[in-house]
């Protein structure tokens, strides 16, 4: 079904009417040719009265034109302009059998121009459904009640076995079985990007507004209800944004505002098959590693660092695990097992002691089960032409239990390296109190000192792109051993990586590729692998930096200006501080000096 709206300027000379109707006829012909077989609905003000259809009058000529192309005017009896008693507004349809009723609705808002209405019924056609997904409605669970339920069930199958993999398998069977009783997996229609929640009082107000427009409704009160409803929606939007900003914190402000501000970039879906994408992702590491030429001179042998202590992952207690989960992002993304970090956080009181036993089993036995090392990869388009696998970015989703164990080992490893001063003083990546800003300050100070001493500064930049994909496991384990790290757990963690690509299907499920193994590289985004190195930016030109910062800050400010009607005034300073001032301060030391 194709809807077309039209307006004709009220000209009455014969030549003007002829010219307008000829142009209108050409547009009707174009619509019928372009949308052959579709139902055509034309609505608008053509200023050709259908109640005064004398011979060769504008109204008669318009009616003949529409009849020639199989279009029927729905209302040809009731006037729409009360002072003149004329019918200027029409609704014409190409399928009169779809027309249930038609007429005129009185306008009570200060104009003598009434509404023309037509009710159509389309049979044999269904509304196009929005995107759906399959997930659990965790927000509807009474957390306290479900925690008591988990605390009272029999977890003995988990504690009886000594194997970490068996413990996890028993845990999943019990926990997911209990979860199915309160929040089974259902098909849920996704909300449009940027849509905001409204409160129950606002929904009631919207229902009253709809009732006022129905036959027999209080039309005199509609204008006031509409004003109150719009104000309530704005208030709910501002409250929602305030809650999201407070929850996200300064570093995640853009995630909250991006759906509201919008983007001119069109979303694209990769056209390559999941198997083709998975084959490409798995081949990146070996191909890149093979392209690196071998060293032309012998690599000096590095002696082990002298230290009085050694590191091996140690078991943790209940308080440490609870505090660690509290500081983790409450992600709702699930791996292949269907369990998320958010579930661990929400239901920790009911099953925290079981989770602790599983985590400590992995640490004490130096065993990382195979299902924990299986990544679900989602391809995200980047650049132009998403049909090419190279123009997609793989986002790996690990099981939630793997994220927890990684975070435990990462914190213990960092404490060991810092306490024994095993990290270089020039290493600024992923260290407390250090960042790329401190690295810039050090480089700038050294360059200025060299200038004062009349020396020449030479800066060498290394591009470590794809570094996570080409990490050789053997060399990484040897390097860890040099620093007194027991490599048994790390060796088990690095071996046996598998992955498969998943893409959303139309029915809310996923289309998945076959499983592929990874023999080189590490999972990107994991807590442990963040400490392997730092990626340095190789664009240090003043002009390019200034142009980039100017464009970025200007774009953010323009976006905020367009979205200021939904962003609370009290939150604007925080938003500007996080998205604009922080970017300027980041380069302040370099630009000023």
Decide which of 87, 120, 153 is a domain's last residue.
120
Instruction: Read off the CATH number of the domain in which 100 is found.
Output: 3.60.10.10
In this predicted model, what pLDDT tens digit does every residue of 70-95 receive, in sequence order? 888 887 778 888 888 888 888 888 88
Task: Return the pLDDT at 535.
Answer: 25
The CA distance from 51 to 78, in Å, is: 8
554 pLDDT above the threshold of 60:
yes
Question: Mean pLDDT across the stretch 134-150?
Answer: 91
Residues of the domain holding 11: 2-120
The CA distance from 441 to 271, in Å, is: 45
Task: Return the pLDDT at 541.
Answer: 42
Q: Half-sphere exposure of 68 toward its Cβ, with a 13 Å CA cutoff? A: 12
Q: What is the pTM of this model?
A: 0.65
Contact 39, 95 (CB under 8 A): yes
In this predicted model, what pLDDT tens digit does every residue of 50-61 receive, in sequence order? 887 777 788 888
528 pLDDT above the threshold of 70:
no
pLDDT band at 129 (very low <50, low <70, confident <90, very high): low
588 pLDDT above the threshold of 80:
no
Decide which of 120, 142, 157 is a domain's last residue.
120
In a domain, 509, yes or no: yes
Quick one: 496 and 584 in the same domain? no
The CA distance from 202 to 207, in Å, is: 9
In a domain, 353, yes or no: no
Quick one: 74 and 209 in the same domain? no
**pLDDT greater at residue 428 or residue 345:** 345
**Would you call 195 helix, strand, or coil by DSSP?**
coil
In a domain, 482, yes or no: yes
In this predicted model, what pLDDT tens digit does every residue of 290-340 receive, in sequence order? 887 877 777 665 555 656 678 999 999 999 999 999 999 888 889 889 999
Quick one: 504 and 586 in the same domain? no
pLDDT band at 192 (very low <50, low <70, confident <90, very high): low
Q: What 8-state DSSP symbol labels residue 135?
A: E
Quick one: 81 and 208 in the same domain? no
Pairing relationship of beta strands 374-381 and 497-504 according to DSSP bridges: parallel
Quick one: 382 and 491 in the same domain? yes
In this predicted model, what pLDDT tens digit does every residue of 363-412 receive, in sequence order? 999 999 999 999 999 888 876 655 678 888 888 899 999 999 999 998 99
Task: Return the pLDDT at 536.
Answer: 27
Q: Which of 101-110, 170-179, 329-338 has the lowest mean pLDDT?
A: 101-110
Q: Which of 96-105, 347-356, 530-539 has the lowest mean pLDDT?
A: 530-539
In this predicted model, what pLDDT tens digit does every residue of 1-30 receive, in sequence order? 888 888 888 877 888 888 888 888 888 877
Quick one: 230 and 112 in the same domain? no
Q: What 8-state DSSP symbol labels residue 305?
A: P
Decide which of 240, 261, 282 is a domain's last residue.
261
Number of domain units in the chain? 4
Contact 559, 441 (CB under 8 A): no
**pLDDT greater at residue 130 or residue 258:** 258
In a domain, 537, yes or no: no
Quick one: 494 and 578 in the same domain? no
């Amino acid at each position: 079904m194709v809807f077309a709206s039209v307006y004709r300027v009220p000209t009455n000379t014969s030549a003007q009417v002829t010219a307008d109707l000829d142009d209108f006829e050409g547009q009707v012909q174009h619509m019928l040719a372009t949308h052959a077989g579709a139902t055509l609905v034309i609505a608008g003000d053509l200023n050709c009265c259908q109640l005064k259809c004398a011979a060769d009058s504008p109204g008669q000529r318009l009616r003949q034109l529409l009849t020639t192309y199989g279009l029927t005017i729905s209302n040809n009896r009731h006037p729409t302009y009360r002072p003149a008693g004329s019918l200027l507004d029409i609704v014409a349809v190409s399928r009169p059998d779809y027309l249930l009723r038609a007429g005129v609705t009185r306008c009570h808002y200060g104009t003598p121009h009434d509404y023309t209405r037509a009710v159509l019924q389309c049979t044999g056609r269904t509304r196009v459904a929005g995107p759906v997904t399959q997930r659990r409605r965790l927000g509807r669970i009474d957390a306290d009640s479900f925690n008591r339920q988990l605390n009272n069930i029999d977890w003995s199958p988990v504690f009886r076995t000594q194997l970490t993999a068996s413990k996890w398998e028993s845990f999943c069977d019990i926990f997911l079985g209990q979860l199915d009783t309160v929040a089974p997996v259902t098909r849920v229609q996704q909300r449009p990007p940027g849509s905001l929640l409204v409160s129950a009082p606002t929904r009631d107000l919207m229902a009253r507004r709809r009732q006022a427009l129905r036959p027999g409704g209080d039309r005199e009160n509609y204008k006031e209800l509409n004003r109150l409803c719009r104000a309530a929606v704005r208030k709910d939007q501002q409250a929602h944004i305030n809650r999201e900003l407070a929850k996200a914190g300064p570093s995640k402000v853009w995630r909250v505002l991006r759906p509201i501000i919008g983007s001119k970039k069109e979303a694209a879906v990769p056209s390559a098959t999941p198997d083709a994408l998975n084959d490409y992702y798995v081949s990146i590491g070996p191909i890149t590693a093979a392209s690196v030429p071998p060293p032309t001179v012998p690599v000096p042998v590095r002696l082990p660092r002298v230290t009085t202590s050694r590191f091996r992952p140690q078991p943790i207690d209940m308080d440490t695990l609870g505090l660690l989960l509290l500081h983790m992002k409450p992600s709702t993304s699930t791996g292949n097992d269907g369990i998320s970090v958010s579930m661990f956080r929400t239901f920790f009181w009911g099953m925290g002691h079981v989770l602790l036993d599983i985590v400590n089993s992995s640490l004490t036995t130096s065993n990382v089960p195979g299902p924990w090392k299986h990544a679900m990869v989602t391809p995200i388009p980047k650049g132009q032409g998403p049909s090419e696998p190279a123009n997609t970015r793989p986002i790996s989703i690990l099981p939630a239990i793997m994220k927890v164990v990684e975070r435990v080992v990462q914190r213990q490893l960092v404490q060991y390296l810092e306490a024994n001063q095993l990290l270089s003083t020039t290493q600024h990546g992923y260290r407390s109190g250090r960042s790329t800003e401190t690295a810039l300050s050090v480089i700038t100070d050294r360059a200025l000192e060299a200038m004062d001493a009349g020396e020449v500064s030479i800066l060498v930049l290394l591009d470590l792109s794809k570094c996570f994909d080409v990490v050789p496991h053997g060399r990484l384990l040897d390097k860890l051993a040099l620093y007194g790290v027991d490599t048994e757990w790390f060796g088990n963690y690095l071996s046996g990586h598998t992955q498969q690509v998943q893409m959303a299907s139309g029915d809310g499920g996923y289309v998945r590729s076959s499983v592929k193994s990874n023999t080189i590289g590490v999972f990107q985004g994991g807590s442990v692998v963040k400490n392997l190195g730092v990626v340095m930016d190789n664009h240090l030109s003043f002009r390019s930096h200034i142009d980039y910062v100017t464009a970025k800050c200007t774009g953010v400010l323009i976006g905020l200006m367009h979205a200021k009607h939904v962003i609370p005034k009290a939150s604007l300073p925080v938003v500007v501080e996080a998205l604009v001032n922080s970017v300027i301060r980041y380069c302040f030391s370099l630009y000023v000096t």
